[in-house]
Structure 1
Amino acid sequence: MADWTDENVRIVCELFAEQVEIGNRSSTHLNKAGFTNVIQKFKQRTGILYTRKQFKNKWEKMKVEYGIWKQLVDRQTSIGWDDSDKNIDMPEEWWKKMANAVKGSGRFRYKGLQNEDNLSIMFEDLHNTGDDHWGPSSGVAPSQAIPLDDDDEDEGENEDDSDPDEVTPSARPKRGKSQDNDMDDSGSDEDDDDFKIKALRVLQSAQNNIFCTALLLSKYYLTYLHKNEPRIARTDWIC
Structure 2
Amino acid sequence: MEKLARKNKTKFLWSNDTFKEFIDACLLELKKGYRSGTHFTRAGWENIVKTMHEKTGVILDNKQIKNNWDVMKIEWKLYDCLMRIEIGICGTRSSIDASPEWWDEKIKMILFQELRASIKLIQARVSRSFKVHLRKV
The CA deviation string for residues 178-224 of structure 1, in whole angstroms up to 9 with x for no partner, is xxxxxxxxxxxxxxxxxxxxxxxxxxxxxxxxxxxxxxxxxxxxxxx
Q: Are the equivalent residues in 2 in contact too, given 1:72–1:98 (CA < 8 A)?
A: no
Match of 1:91 among 81, 88, 99: 99
The CA deviation string for residues 67-93 of structure 1, in whole angstroms up to 9 with x for no partner, is 011111112xxx3668x9598753133
Where does residue 16 of structure 1 map in the other structure?
A: 26
Where does residue 29 of structure 1 map in the other structure?
A: 39
Where does residue 71 of structure 1 map in the other structure?
A: 81
How many residue pairs get matched? 97
Partners of 1:85 and 1:71 in 2: CA distance: 17
The structure with the largest helix share of the pair is 2
Q: Are the equivalent residues in 2 in contact too, given 1:19–1:34 (CA < 8 A)?
A: yes
Match of 1:56 among 53, 66, 71: 66
- 1:3: how far off? 2.1
Match of 1:6 among 16, 31, 38: 16
Partners of 1:93 and 1:8 in 2: CA distance: 37
Q: Are the equivalent residues in 2 in contact too, given 1:39–1:51 (CA < 8 A)?
A: yes
Partners of 1:99 and 1:34 in 2: CA distance: 43
Relative distance call for 1:99 and 1:28 in structure 2 (3 A) is farther
Relative distance call for 1:63 and 1:85 in structure 2 (3 A) is closer
Where does residue 40 of structure 1 map in the other structure?
A: 50
Partners of 1:50 and 1:67 in 2: CA distance: 25
In the superposition, the TM-score normalised over structure 1's length comes to: 0.36
SS in 1 for 2:34: coil
Partners of 2:37 and 2:70 in 1: CA distance: 13
Where structure 1 has 5 or more consecutive residues not aligned to the other structure, the ranges are 102-239
Q: Taking every aligned residue pair, what percent have the same amino acid on both sides?
A: 26
Q: Are the equivalent residues in 1 in contact too, given 2:53–2:59 (CA < 8 A)?
A: yes
Instruction: Work out which structure has the larger RCO, using CA pairs closer than 8 Å and 6 or more positions apart in sequence.
Output: 1
Give the superposed CA RMSD.
2.8
The structure with the largest strand share of the pair is 2
In the superposition, the TM-score normalised over structure 2's length comes to: 0.60
Partners of 2:25 and 2:79 in 1: CA distance: 21
- 1:96: how far off? 5.2
